[in-house]
Amino acid sequence: MAKNILVLLMLLLTAGAAKAQELQCDVVVNSEQVQYTDRQLFTDMQTRIFEFMNNRRWTDQPYRPDERIKCRILINLTEMPEIGTFNANVQVVSVRPTYGTGYETVLFSFVDKDWSFRFNTAEALEYADNNYTSNLASMLSFYAYMIIGMDNDSFGRLGGAPAFDKARAIVNVASSQAAGYQGWKAFDSNRNRYWLIDNLQDPQFLPYREGMYAMHRQGLDQMVEKPEEARQTVLTVLANIQRLQQQKPNAALVRSFFDAKSDELVNMFKEAAPAQKQQAYSILSQADPTNNSKYQVLLKR
């Protein structure tokens, strides 16, 4: 009897682990620029957004608790035009562990300057597929699927496709129903939510998507055992991204890539052989001139 109970408990624990939520998301709401006496409102906002991101099952994929994707949403409130209505700029970041190390690589980093939303503690923050409930829920859900899709792309070739389909559906619904809110349409800006998902699903960006798998599984995950081969794999990926940058200048997805990876790429190649360092500098300085001052360290012997 005791043995049967133990087996049952183990099965229950295993089933619970398989159903763990996908995201382990840290949420920070910075309200320093907003003049409002009831500061509890901002604490409640942070708590509700945290619960929305972390307590929801976004996919049918099995996740163990230790497999949850680490991410961070920093919401910098810039103004409150009227009570309960907010404008903000937001940074969304997700990371992924690399094999055989304690190192976490940044997979996704994007600054969204088009956040406007209403928040009321009396109203539920809810999301439902193919339904528009609020702009805040739509924006949070969009980035939840972006984070999951980017993570899945890094572990399996084009593995993020189902999550990106969900993100696209959110954009389609919000663009037609979120009247007055920016970031959902092509003409709002050249670097917004619309263009992020458009780039990811554009056939011309297929080398980028495939490159994310190669860079992480065949590059970063192999750095401990085969550093020279791993760097060469990353150089091949960077050359493809350079060509993509020439074809699609200032694409939102490419800019996001270098925002996430520029420091890491410097650290990866500054200990490389001279030929690899020179090749890395040549590609990076042309593909990402914004960060050229960082890459110049690769010219030092």
Which run of H or of E encompasses 5?
A: helix 2-18
Report whether 139 contacts 92 (CB < 8 A).
Answer: no
Q: Which of 71, 168, 166 is nearest to 110 (CA)?
A: 71
Q: What range defines the domain where residue 142 resides? A: 15-158
Q: Tokens standing for 208?
A: 């980028």
Between the CA of residue 155 and those of 146, 167, 217, 262, what are the distances in Å? 15, 19, 6, 21
Flag whether 231 is in a domain.
no
The residues facing 96 across adjacent strands are 105
Between the CA of residue 55 and those of 64, 210, 290, what are the distances in Å? 14, 31, 38
What's the pLDDT band for 19 if we cut at 50, 70, 90? Answer: low
Flag whether 207 is in a domain.
no
- Please determine, for residue 5, whether its predicted confidence score (pLDDT) is greater than 50: no
Give the span between the Cα atoms of 175 and 169, in whole angstroms. Answer: 10
Give the span between the Cα atoms of 145 and 149, in whole angstroms. Answer: 6
Q: What integer pLDDT is reported at residue 18 of this predicted model?
A: 47
Give the 3-state secondary structure of residue 100: coil
Sheet holding 104-118, edge to edge: 23-30, 69-82, 85-97, 104-118
Flag whether 186 is in a domain.
no
Flag whether 179 is in a domain.
no
Give the span between the Cα atoms of 123 and 148, in whole angstroms. Answer: 27
Q: What integer pLDDT is reported at residue 179 of this predicted model?
A: 82
Flag whether 214 is in a domain.
no
The predicted-structure confidence for 226-259, as pLDDT tens digits, reads as follows: 999 999 999 999 999 999 999 999 899 999 999 9
- What's the total number of domains in the chain? 1
- Please determine, for residue 13, whether its predicted confidence score (pLDDT) is greater than 80: no
Q: Model's pTM, two decimal places?
A: 0.92
Give the 3-state secondary structure of residue 9: helix
Flag whether 57 is in a domain.
yes
Name 65's Cβ contacts closer than 8 Å, sequence gap at least 6: 17, 20
Flag whether 154 is in a domain.
yes
Flag whether 175 is in a domain.
no
- Please determine, for residue 9, whether its predicted confidence score (pLDDT) is greater than 80: no
Between the CA of residue 204 and those of 151, 177, 215, 241, 288, what are the distances in Å? 20, 29, 18, 11, 19
